[in-house]
Structure 1
Amino acid sequence: MVGQLNSIVMQPVIYGISLNYGQIGQLSTPTATDCKATVVTVKAYTYGSQNKAIVDVNPSTGALCAGTWNRNLNVIPDYTVCTATNPPASNSMTYLTAEANGVTSNPIPVYTHPVVTSVLLGTPTANCTTDPTTNCCPLAAANTITAPAYSGNSCISQGSTGQLVARVFAGTGTYDATTGTTTGTLQNISCQAGHLTYTANTSGLVSIDENGVATAELPGSTVITASVSNAGSSAGFFSTCPPASINLSVPNSSSTALSVNQNYAQPLTATVLDTRGVTLTGLSLEYVSTTPTTIPVASTGIVTPSYPGAASITAICQPATCNPSPFNQIGLFGNGKPLASNAIDITTPGTNSTLLYIASTDSRYLVPVDFTTSTLGTAVQLPYVPNSMVISEDGTSIYMGSSTELMVVSASTDGITRQDLTVPGTVLAVSPDNSTVVIADAARKLIYLEAAAGGVTSEYGWSGNGTPHAQWTPDSATVYITVSDPTTSSDQLLVYSTFTGWNNITPTPNSTGGNYPLDVAVTVPSIGAYLAGSPTTAVGYCPASTFTTTNDQTTVTNIFNPQADSNTAVTDRIAATNDGKHILGAAVSNMLLSDLQLTLPTGPCPSSGDALSFTSVATTSALSGITPTAITGVFPTSDSTAAVVTYTGTGGVLPWYAPSSAGTATPGTLTNITLSGTAIAPVAGVWSTDNLTFYAGTSGDNLVHLITRSAAGSTLSDSKTIAPNLPIDPNITNPTSTIAVPNLMVQKPRKTT
């Protein structure tokens, strides 16, 4: 009859409830319906147990006891104290029902067992009698599951499924996965414990249904927590197969180098395959440009140049946003390791103007120059004499370090926007995403990572009295910081990763007394970094992983940033070309410019034990005509067709180098540009973004020389000078001039009109 109770359903229908001996539980309120499946109201239910020796129930409330409830004790209300049956009943499972108005519900199973002490995911058992796993149990047999068992000894490709298999233990002792036996009081209660519920600690990598069937989603590995008897336990790991290749391509083209005009939206396509050859979708790839100021790339892979110039575009799968893993499992099955695509080289034709900012480590003034009008702007007086100057990639902020504070100058208004006394030191680098500034505090021996808006986000100690240098990877996920002090043989490479944190690598000087690392250059694609020194070495971005498996559980040991190359070339300062084919370095000790012609590996990180291996063939060219006291920089153009070397000392020339084709072991062409007037040495400089002008600050005349060329590949010449006339700071001891040497310069592009 409509409106009259016809059916009572209690949940969970199939999987039931699991209780430790003596544990209190609670039945959920049943659902009552009439003959039309319409919910009806029931005033009260009466609950019953088929075997009260296993599970007792309060008939009025549905409160459960894995044992026996107290009754008729007068001073204690009935159904308050639950006492475990001793000894436990021979059968650990019984059924409970709810009844009302002559209608009885479906029976639900309730499992009782000793207190669960651990749950272990692993391979299915070979013997369900002596070493049961959850797939052996009657509860599993009640469900039709077609997914193969997931052993945990390999990964599953995106979209594939696997049945999670576990062993449930009570007591203490050890379990031997080889023999399936236990020691101490440890006992396998897998088929006594009832239904397990699985959850993944990291979302998005795997979905798990009520049957324990796992469906692989995005690449990565995660801890799986198994819950039983209202308690959770870390049971094991699940792995969705990682990417093995990222092929970046231009739609409808086989070329990996192309010309793209300003403001034209050029799409790129990334095809990703996993380690089993399955095409992956939905990955959080990061598209990066080596020159985001002029040729940025969107998160969708669309390149829209805003100024002339050149850039190398790559796609990176970078943990933790892509292919993550728990820290202690990095490398297992390839999860937790980065992967970079091939590079697409973009050239944008045309010319642009420049806003040049000139300062000096001997002056408290900053002079802007707008080359659309070729006029010097009003000098900005700084609070302190700067020791460094770096501009953000978006061209909005100029960060100037000093021994007293950090000074931030707006590149739009030329005014000081922020002063921070908490982070004195040398500004080393600004991340390509403009979010983080690296500062080296020589007094406190600390490296600061400072948020662009202010506030230290992380810091790390360094040793010695050397000069630090730093470079970020294009994705802003990793920064390499070198600190070398030849006077104390104190050498450090500090690597900070947003995924793995700080790593302190302390190299040992070689037998000839050379010290490294002196400088750092990130490779293109950014799969590692080269370190200047004697020898010139490289580290890779892949951890070297070793694995030890005991009782179906794998322990991973990682060496982060392992050595990837060692070349006998001696270098003091180095730089990488955007085409990924050259590491260019120069040294005072041998008066050579070294061209390390590279062959970088492609594909995934090594699966076990080994580090990445880079191949470099060095050619050398003599740095003649100069007498340097120090190499201050090697500056390649963004189109990789030229590089210049700056130095302190004497010579009156600017060495410039045209690299040869990689792999030929043939040096490029090294030529000296004679500087006009009374210039003694080009001490610092910066290229315009269109690669047609190098602005060289020179000692002797204290001017900025414009070293220009008409097009890529053409000859460079000293075509013009400008005089910033930076007043020498009065606190400088024994100055040789009232005008300071312009040895700090940054630039940003401007439209020509």
Structure 2
Amino acid sequence: MRRFLTLVFLLLFTIPFGVSISGCSKKTAAVFCNGGDTGPVVGQIATINLQPKIFGISLNFAQIGQVSSPSAIDCKGTTVTVSGYTYATFLPNGQPDMTIADVQPTTGRLCAGTWNRNTGGGIADFTTCNPTNKSGTVYVVVNGNGVSSNPLPIFIHPVVTNVTLGALSTDCANDPATNCSPAAFDTQTSTCTQTTNGNGCCAVPVTPTANAVAATGCVSQSVTSQLAARVLAGNGANISCQVGHLSYAPQTASVVTIDENGVATAQQPGSTVITANISNAGSSAGFFSTCPPTSIALTAPIGTGNATSVTVNPNNVQPINAVATDQYGTILTGLTLNFESTTPTTIPAASAASVTPIFPGAAAITAVCQPPTCNPSPFNQIGLFGNGKAVTSNPVLVTAPGVNSTNLYIASTNSFYLVPVDFTQPQLGNPVRLPYQPNSMVISNDGSSIYMGSSFELMTFSATTNSLAAQDITVPGNVIALSPDGTTLVITDPIRQFVYLYNTSGKSTGTTGTTTSSAGIQTQYGGVATHAVFSPDNSTVYITLGDYNSSTGVTTPNNTLLVHSTFTGWYQTTSSQATTDVAIGVPSVGAFFGGNPTTARSYCPVTTIVGGAATTSSTTTNLFYPDAGVLGPQTDRIATTNDGLHVLGATVTPAPTLTDLAIGVPPGGTVPSLPIGACPGQTPITTPQKFTTSTAFTGALPGVTASAITGVFPTSDSKIAFVTYQGSGAVVPTYIPQTTGAGTLSSIPLSTALGTPIAPIVGVVSADNQTFYAGTTGDNAVHLITKQADGTYKDTTTPLAPKLPDVNGNIVAPNLLVQKPRKATS
């Protein structure tokens, strides 16, 4: 029996030992970090990191938080898996403490107070955070496999109720701010080893590595500034030095970038709300302003120089240079400018700062820094420091020499027919029967679509197929205007008393680049429109309103003005008198309105600061589109010239008269032009921007007896303007403006080749400025007023006879004309 027990003993102990010896012989040899045969081993924990190392975690009294998951690495930086961690809290002196902040030992769950332990009654431990209302800083350290992590600061403080950006503190004892916090010193100068003020602040403010952010102004692009915040508790106590690090985030990231130390670097012009995040909650602390441009100088490089007037052959690319500077003389880069053309049909402006003429013609090119894509601002801060306002450049005049042919479309409000004319062909086109008699007609700048209003529907005619393309019965009324990009119509319905902005196709709209799913009404406003004009960037439309008489079907102008902007939406204001017409300024810093007197509105709002001086906590109120100080002679219809020098108007009261309203000379300038650059001043604007104007010429329309002026039509090269009217005279009045001083008024007799003309009631200028097409009463024809070799215009070509019939078969006068250019050869 003893021998049996001895055998069992040997089997149990000697065999495993043998197996163990065999296993050890196959074990991988340890690799030491230093490459030798002693020291730390690769694969063992060398470091445990807790984040955020410097900024730590900020908690209100009784708030529950969570320590981020630790990361363990070996001596080679390779991640090491740890089966479990143990968390503990310590005071700065290394002593354990669970009364300021407590941590769940195995999960890292934080309590700004003390966790419940051994509560009993079925209440699990570490589920209730009991406030102790003790402020202070403790550190969490996590241990794994015998290795301890870096200490993670935990800032415990009363509940934060308000965070406000402001100037850096210079008195930490009486006016603490975050630049007095020990946390600020830890990251920037590391000189505050202890606090000596009762409020927990350092004895002296931190010296910032960047300039202090301007509290009463804007910051130039690329300039760095130190943000400072004042943090208040519910009882109003300033606890700025108890909350640790604040993290800042701009609402509009393009305006400013902010690093982990609160150093803000100005980026693109504009202002933005700054959110300060603390205690796992965000607070709108204030805003930051990057200086807007005060001037945008536009030039066309020619050879080794630059010019503001240039001749460019069709299909040739002409670069455009734009230099923007702010109020401190800083040259701004990376601006999102909108380049605009007054004649995009022939000379469109490219977004890449260049011009490529498509057809012969002329145009003024301007660049605009237009909110919200450039110089944006929160709505309640528009105008503060100049942000939230458009800034316009000087115009560059581009002329494309040559001659092109024309496609002309002729219609009448008294006929169901539209007649297309292709001047590369020897005869008129076939008349096209329309569903309804049109009451208005406009053509897109690309020449593809003609929109006609009627009492029953909107009719869309394809100018490429010469056929009706679409009908929309939801928008009966008059077509008043079409945006330069062809996406938005202004339609007014006098019966329903509405003004509509109608999306034509669902294409990209305006400067925002947004798209819509289908054509239809975008937005509407009560009233009846009489005239409208868009800014070249499609973002703003100015509309005059009138009173509709349902018994007579006549709309009489009233003193209500309506503006719609993609930035501010609808805006209604009133004028001191009835407004009869509207024309956009060149550059488009506002609009001119016909009436008695002729007036103007600026796109620069009148800004009033709310709450005192202009500081980062101020808000503003604005009077949009204020009166621009123009009091000109009476005009019924007006137009502006592309060179930006003239507002040409005509009236029948008290007699048929033409007026040349010259636009004033800017400070230091010699050539009249509208004010350019930013709205005046970068401090609060309490007075409107004024347009300096003077009457250069007033004269009676020669040989004209008129009951109404129907249009004033300057050529795109600004060398001559034509006037149409209802009445008699059988002449087309013309006016040749001058750069300065009075121009020359005369008239062109109408040809009698097709009968006796009475009056030109409608007109359109060809894109190459070679021909003025005039629809006339009397002979019911379209006359071609053509440019002669000596530069004058005469009616020497046989007029067109569209022979538009009314419902009774009578031939009526053509009073609707649109044109598009085409190549001179078929």
Check whether TM > 0.5: yes
In the alignment, does 2:226 pair up with 1:209?
A: no
The alpha-carbon deviation at position 10 of structure 1 amounts to 0.8
Decide which of 339, 350, 358 is 1:306's aligned counterpart. 358
* Structure 2: distance between partners of 1:581 and 1:713: 21
- Name 2:100's counterpart in structure 1: 54
Quick one: distance in 1 between partners of 2:544 and 2:612?
Answer: 39
Amino acid at match of 2:335: L
Shift of 1:603: 2.7
Aligned pair in 2 of structure 1 residues 275, 712: CA closer, same or farther (>3 Å)? farther
Q: Structure 1 residues 711 and 306, CA, compared in 2 at 3 Å: closer, same or farther?
A: farther
636-645 vs 707-716, greater mean Cα deviation: 707-716
Deviation of 1:435 after TM superposition, in Å, equals: 1.4
The corresponding residue for 1:634 is 712
Matched, 1:722 2:807: no
What one-letter code is carried by the residue in structure 2 that aligns with 1:738? N
| TM-superposed deviation, 1:555 | 2.3
Tell me the residue number matched to 2:36.
none
Alpha carbons 1:161, 1:215 under 8 Å: kept:
yes
Amino acid at match of 1:233: S
Structure with higher Rg: it is 2
State the alpha-carbon separation in 1 of the partners of residues 612 and 764 from structure 2. 56
- Amino acid of the residue matched to residue 505 of structure 1? T
Q: Which residue is equivalent to 1:180?
A: none
1:32-431 matches, within 5 Å, as 32-50=72-90, 51-74=97-120, 75-85=122-132, 88-89=133-134, 91-144=135-188, 145-171=208-234, 185-251=235-301, 252-431=304-483
Cα distance, 1:485 vs structure 2: 4.4
Matched, 1:525 2:603: no
1 CA distance for matches of 2:474 and 2:73? 69
**For the Cα contact (< 8 Å) 1:385–1:729, is it kept in 2?**
no
SS at match of 2:579: coil
Give 3-state SS (helix, strand or coil) of 1:310's partner. Answer: strand
Deviation at 1:691, TM superposition (A): 0.6
Inter-CA distance 276–712: structure 2 relative to 1 (3 Å threshold) = farther
Shift in Å, 1:489 = 7.4
SS at match of 1:333: helix
CA deviation after TM superposition for structure 1 residue 711, in Å? 5.3
- In 2 relative to 1, CA 331–583 (structure 1 residues): closer, same or farther, beyond 3 Å? same
Q: Are 1:669 and 2:745 matched, yes or no?
A: yes
Report deviation, 1:549.
Answer: 4.0
Matching of residue 598 in structure 1 with residue 644 in structure 2: no
Checking the alignment, whether the CA contact within 8 Å between 1:33 and 1:39 is kept in structure 2 is yes
Deviation digits for residues 599-643 of structure 1 (CA, Å, limit 9, x no counterpart) = 222332123212221122212011132221111100111111111
User: SS at 1:40's partner residue?
Assistant: coil
Equivalence for 2:608: 546
Q: For 1:36 and 1:534, locate their aligned partners in 2 and report how far apart those are by CA, in whole Å.
A: 85
The answer for the alignment partner of 1:747 in structure 2 is: 819
Equivalent position SS for 2:305: coil
- Count residues with an aligned counterpart: 720
Q: What is the Cα deviation at residue 451 of structure 1?
A: 0.8
Which structure 2 residue ranges, 5 or more long, are not aligned?
Answer: 1-40, 91-96, 189-207, 506-518, 549-554, 665-673
**In the alignment, does 2:576 pair up with 1:500?**
no
Task: For 2:560 and 2:546, locate their aligned partners in 1 and report how far apart those are by CA, in whole Å.
Answer: 6
1:491 alignment partner AA: N
Name the SS of the counterpart of 1:142 in structure 2: helix
Q: How many angstroms apart in 2 are the aligned matches of 1:274 and 1:691? A: 39
Label 1:293 to 1:712 Cα distance change in 2 as closer, same or farther (>3 A).
farther
Contact (CA 8 Å) 2:366, 2:395: kept in 1 or not?
A: yes
Deviations 1:28-59 (A, max 9, x none): 11111122222211110000012200111110
Deviation at 1:244, TM superposition (A): 0.9
State the SS of the aligned residue for 1:140.
helix
Distance in 1 between residues matched to 2:305 and 2:788, nearest whole Å: 30
* Whole-angstrom distance in 2 between the partners of 1:480 and 1:460: 13
Query: Deviation at 1:673?
Result: 2.6
Deviations 1:383-419 (A, max 9, x none): 1111100000111110100111111111100111111
Corresponding residue for residue 20 of structure 1: 60
Letter of the structure 1 residue corresponding to residue 81 of structure 2? T
Give the letter aligned to residue 640 of structure 2: A
Deviation at 1:496, TM superposition (A): 1.0
SS at match of 2:798: strand
Indicate how the Cα distance of structure 1 residues 484 and 672 shifts in structure 2: closer, same or farther if over 3 A, else same.
farther
Contact 1:216 1:240 in 2 (8 A): yes
For the residue of structure 2 that corresponds to 1:328, the secondary structure is helix
2:499 & 2:618 partners in 1: Cα distance? 36
Give yes or no for contact 1:399–1:407 (8 Å, CA) kept in 2: yes
Q: Does 1:616 align with 2:693?
A: yes
Instruction: Report the residue type matching 1:73 in the other structure.
Output: T
For 1:670 and 1:525, how far apart are their aligned partners in 2? 28
Residues 712, 576 of structure 1: alpha-carbon distance in 2 compared, 3 angstrom cutoff = farther
Q: Give the conservation status (yes or no) of the 8 Å contact 1:544–1:606.
A: no
Distance 2:584 2:425 in 1: 36
* Contact 2:702–2:747 (CA under 8 A) maintained in structure 1: no
Structure 2 distance, partners of 1:393, 1:313, is 16
Alpha-carbon spacing, 1:33–1:254, altered in 2? closer, same or farther (3 Å) = closer
Instruction: Give the aligned residue type for 2:534.
Output: W
Q: Secondary structure at the match of 1:508?
A: coil
* Alpha-carbon contact 2:785-2:793 (below 8 Å) kept: no
Structure 1 residue aligned with 2:783: 705
- Listed one character per residue, the Cα deviations across residues 662-720 of structure 1 (whole Å, up to 9, x for unaligned) are 3x2x2423224334231111110111111111111111111111111125842333422
Secondary structure of the residue aligned to 1:361 is coil
Aligned to 1:580: 644
The match for 1:689 is: 767
* CA deviation profile, 1:54-99 (whole Å, cap 9, x unmatched): 11111010011111111222311111111111xx22x421111101
Q: TM-score, normalised by structure 1?
A: 0.93
For 2:365 and 2:789, the matched residues in 1 are separated by: 22
Q: Read off the aligned partner of 1:694 and give its amino acid letter.
A: F
> Could you tell me how far apart the structure 2 residues matched to 1:520 and 1:711 are?
34
Q: 1-side partners of 2:813 and 2:124: how far apart?
A: 92
Report the Cα offset of residue 364 of structure 1: 1.1
Hey, what's the Cα distance between the residues in 1 that align with 2:331 and 2:52? 38
Gaps of 5+ in 1: 172-184, 510-515, 731-736
| Aligned mates of 2:73, 2:152 — CA distance in 1 | 18
CA RMSD after TM alignment: 1.6
Q: CA deviation at 1:195?
A: 1.5
Partner of 1:461: 526
- The answer to which of 585-594 and 65-74 deviates more is 65-74
Given that residues 134 and 140 in structure 1 are in contact (C-alpha distance below 8 angstroms), is that contact kept between their aligned partners in structure 2? Answer: yes
SS at match of 1:247: strand
Between the aligned partners of 2:220 and 2:312, the Cα distance in structure 1 is 37
